[in-house]
């Protein structure tokens, strides 16, 4: 468990960058590396998706940037779609705020 805590801040930075870019394959590759190399259980890897850092979750970042493929992947993988941030906003709220109507159809 110690190794997860040590890598958490750096991993979060990589994940937020990848969610901003929106490349699903890059996210999958990182999750695979965390699981195989760092021995992070796959459910712990997905905890990163809804973990809040500075009022943000990866769902919110993906929705705000209109990355429907990434959002669909997270939701299919069992991530709570209605997770809210420290302001009580869900990913759908973020999508609406930034006029990302395509997110509404996921």
- The C-alpha atoms of residue 106 and residue 99 are separated, in whole angstroms, by 15
What pTM did the predictor assign? 0.73
Blockwise average pLDDT, block size 10, the chain, 106 residues: 49 78 84 74 64 74 90 82 86 93 89
Q: Which of 18, 16, 20 is nearest to 29 (CA)?
A: 18
Q: Which CATH number fits domain 2-105: 2.30.30.90, 3.40.50.300, 1.25.40.20, 1.10.3720.10?
A: 1.25.40.20
- The C-alpha atoms of residue 105 and residue 96 are separated, in whole angstroms, by 12
């Amino acid at each position: 468990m110690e190794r997860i805590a040590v890598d958490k801040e750096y991993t979060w930075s990589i994940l937020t960058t990848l969610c901003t870019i929106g490349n699903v394959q890059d996210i999958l590759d990182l999750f695979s590396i965390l699981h195989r190399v760092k021995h992070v259980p796959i459910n712990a890897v997905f905890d990163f998706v809804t973990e809040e850092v500075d009022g943000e979750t990866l769902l919110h970042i993906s929705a705000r940037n209109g990355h429907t493929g990434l959002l669909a992947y997270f939701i299919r993988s069992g991530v709570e779609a209605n997770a809210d941030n420290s302001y009580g906003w869900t990913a759908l709220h973020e999508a609406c705020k930034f006029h990302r109507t395509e997110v509404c159809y996921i």
